[in-house]
Structure 1
Amino acid sequence: MQHLDRESHAQHDATCPSLAREQARSAAFVMSPALGDSLNLLIIAHNLVRAGWQVEIFGNHAWSLARWFPHLSMKPALGEEEARDRLADFGVVVQMHRDRPLKQLRAWHPGFVDLHDVEYADDGRCMAHRFAAFATHHFGLPTVEISNGMRAPPELQHRRHAQRVAVHPEASTADKRWLARRFIGLAQRLSGEGFAPEFVVADGERSRWLPLASTAPPLCSFRDTADLAAWLYESGWFIGNDSGLGHLASALGIPTLTVFRRRRVAQRWRPGFQCGEIVLPPWWVPTAGLKEKWWREAISVRRVHRAFRVLRERVAVPA
């Protein structure tokens, strides 16, 4: 296939107004390797497609979930060396962070857009709501949905296993993880009430849980993000740390309960697609430093269990 250099493109566009208009309404999304970032960024992509834009998504989580987004064009993640050839013809290229996953993108693409200021703004809303608002204001969309348009394959049944509680006791970093023994204590309490908690962990995380297997619920791991999504979609509930799995559960319409170490983090990163509750350290823990050090010990099983009861009451009486 013949390729035009960027100068030739500019000259060609000047003589082809229809091509220039088409490129102006085309966007590529370079997705973070983090699942939660990707799911929230897809809110903007979904709303652009609703408004008639041509959109392509580049990211491995998105590629795995392609069947769940039939209205979006999904491609595998790009490497730095191939990005220029694949992205040059798009009028807009969106990446959540300024320098990752593609470090040089901001330097060479004239239509580069990042969400740095949106993520770190002094704004009480969660990312799902912030990104939807950004789609309105930056792209001038007349209406937006706080949705990424995720749809389950037809063979799956939403919340088929109504008593199954998907519990994610892990997180990307240790400072986000509530105590393992308390997750186990919570699971035992839920089992006593007739629920069926199951722990979901990545293959690389199983070694931390195998010594606790005699007291922990069943450990589930999945081949890829699509298999994980199918299991979550048919679960009744989700409980976990601040992690991408909470955003996935929320995007799938599963009620979520998320344990956070700080209020400001929770304001930004609570799952925002669906009904959810959060748990924070109690107010009486003094100073930010002590909260950061002792938040795990300060959050009791009883506190999380009580929040789960509140969540169930909210779901029973929808707003």
Structure 2
Amino acid sequence: MNVAVTSSPALGDSLLLMTVARNLQASGKRVTVFSGHMDALRAWFPGMDIRPALSGDDADALLRPFDTVIQLHADRPVPRLEQRHPNAVVLEHLCRSSSPEAMATRLAHYCRESLRLPRAETGNGLAVPAGLTHRKHARRVAIHPTASTADKRWLAPRFLRLALRLKSKGFEPHFIVTDDERADWEHVQQHGIGLPRLGSLDNVAAWLVECGWFIGNDSGIGHLASCLQVPTLSLFMRKGIARTWRPGWGAGKVLVGGAWLPTGRLKERCWKYALSVNQVLRAFEQLRREAA
């Protein structure tokens, strides 16, 4: 059986779908992954056939030779996939399930129950390349203050106050941002906060795996930290979103801002104002105790 796994441009989605790819490959299937992010992390997934992301122009031709094509979302990366391939599998229903489990676990269950792979696990096959040491810098805290959309981002001044409080406790906080975001965060260096220039996703992973801790918004970098077994504290706007999309591999905690607010609309608008620096620090201390 020849299977293609096509991933959306989201880093978290890509890492999650690698769980399906790995379990299929471990069962003897021939698997090819189409993903820009995973192509950048090719060295971290030894033995997996990973190719660049599909483009609209060549998607049909590239997918035609495969017996089965698996995709997480109905509309991306290949729109109308079920109409374009005779044996397309779209896993959107897993995202909408009322299951209390994180997506990594839901995908492992799907592999066991629907794909009939009895030994399926949540692991996605990521392996740390030689020369890197897991959590080498035990006091280094990676802070990811951005996210794909503004509604997922905690307040920037509070991230800075959090970093300063951590620094006063003997930790080494560093902010992880892209080159395009860097101008908005260069001021943190005036306070002795790190702002490494990492560039490629491969470099981000290599730097992140040697961190002791991770704190950040609901984002793909949080999933990457979790996948690297770096203990994570993730900040979310709503419980339902956190239940589904929380990082699901290593030790981690989720903190939902404004869970007491009465409506979903208010939660989405006000969570970042309702979540205090002290609450995040307390959750971080709980994570430290649990990870120990």
TM-score interval, smaller chain:
over 0.9
Question: For 1:219, which of 195, 201, 211 is the aligned residue?
Answer: 195
Percent of aligned pairs with the same amino acid: 45
- State the shift of 1:85 in Å: 2.5
Separation of aligned partners in 1, 2:203 and 2:76? 27
Deviations 1:169-204 (CA, angstroms, capped at 9, x unpaired)? 000000000011111111111111111000000111
**Corresponding residue of 2:85:** 109
**More deviation, 72-81/218-227:** 218-227
Separation of aligned partners in 2, 1:287 and 1:81? 43
TM-score, with structure 1 as normaliser: 0.88
Residues 1:152 and 2:128 are matched in the alignment: yes
Following superposition of structure 1 onto structure 2, how do residues 276-295 of structure 1 map, counting pairs within 5 Å? 276-295=252-271
Corresponding residue SS for 2:3: strand
Separation of aligned partners in 2, 1:206 and 1:86? 37
Which segments of 5 or more consecutive residues in structure 1 lack a partner in the other structure?
1-24
- State the shift of 1:212 in Å: 4.9
Separation of aligned partners in 2, 1:83 and 1:283? 42
Following superposition of structure 1 onto structure 2, how do residues 1-319 of structure 1 map, counting pairs within 5 Å? 25-215=1-191, 217-316=193-292
Separation of aligned partners in 2, 1:277 and 1:251? 14
Larger Rg: 1
- State the shift of 1:216 in Å: 6.8
- State the shift of 1:138 in Å: 2.0
Deviations 1:54-87 (CA, angstroms, capped at 9, x unpaired)? 0011111111111100021111112122222222
The 3 A distance-change label for structure 1 pair 104 and 291 is: closer
TM-score, with structure 2 as normaliser: 0.96
8 Å CA contact retained: 1:99, 1:106: no
Deviations 1:257-297 (CA, angstroms, capped at 9, x unpaired)? 00001000000110001110011124443333322222111
8 Å CA contact retained: 1:33, 1:59: yes
Corresponding residue SS for 1:178: coil
Corresponding residue SS for 1:310: helix
Moved over 4 A (4+): none
Corresponding residue SS for 1:118: helix
8 Å CA contact retained: 2:258, 2:267: no
Deviations 1:134-191 (CA, angstroms, capped at 9, x unpaired)? 1112211111111101001011111111111000000000000001111111111111
8 Å CA contact retained: 1:28, 1:58: yes
The 3 A distance-change label for structure 1 pair 78 and 283 is: closer
Separation of aligned partners in 2, 1:183 and 1:89? 48
Separation of aligned partners in 1, 2:259 and 2:244? 19
8 Å CA contact retained: 2:237, 2:258: no
Deviations 1:19-71 (CA, angstroms, capped at 9, x unpaired)? xxxxxx22111111100000001100011111111001111111111110002
Which segments of 5 or more consecutive residues in structure 2 lack a partner in the other structure?
none
8 Å CA contact retained: 2:259, 2:267: no
Separation of aligned partners in 2, 1:308 and 1:250? 15
Separation of aligned partners in 2, 1:308 and 1:211? 24
Counterpart residue type for residue 63 of structure 1: D
Q: Which has the higher helix share?
A: 1
Separation of aligned partners in 2, 1:251 and 1:269? 13
The 3 A distance-change label for structure 1 pair 84 and 256 is: same
Corresponding residue SS for 1:220: coil
RMSD (CA atoms): 1.4
8 Å CA contact retained: 1:250, 1:256: yes
